[in-house]
Amino acid sequence: MRRVLFVCVHNAGRSQMAEAFLRHLADGRAEAQSAGMEPGAHVNPVAVQAMAERGISLASHRPKLLTPALAAWADRVITMGCALDDSCPVALTPVEDWEISNPSGQPLSVVRGIRDQIEEKVSLLLREPDD
């Protein structure tokens, strides 16, 4: 089973949505977690609202700190547009960056577009063969 860790700076929007989509779409074929370098106090309420529109609840999700143990757990680490950020943990493990815009402070209409982009990328990820 593939284990995917989604990482963004605050673990409050993009990485939370990606984790939730992977869990929702994987049908037991993969596991997901998410974390951030500087976890926020809570998940972005607009991201929660955007995901609820897809029938996916982020109500119980909480931002968490990226740790070496969490990075070691993952078979694959995907950053969510933070690879150019100085605090991004690119040295911890091989990563790929999806260059996803940050939903923080954005209106629901923009967060919907970000959500849809994440859903598409997670769907494509799940179509890849396991190594």
Q: Which percentage of the chain shows pLDDT scores above 90?
A: 64
- CA dist 11 and 35 (Å) reads 5
Query: What CATH number is attached to the domain comprising 35?
Result: 3.40.50.2300
- Specify if 3 maps to a domain: no
Report how many domains make up the chain: 1
Domain that holds residue 35: 16-65+74-125
- For residue 99, what pLDDT band results from cuts at 50, 70 and 90? confident
Give 82's DSSP letter: -
Catalytic (active-site) positions:
8, 82
Instruction: Taking residues 72-96, report their average pLDDT.
Output: 70
- CA dist 15 and 48 (Å) reads 12
Residue-wise pLDDT for 33-45, tens only, equals 999 989 999 999 9
Q: What is the pTM of this model?
A: 0.78
Model pLDDT, residue 131: 60
- Specify if 7 maps to a domain: no
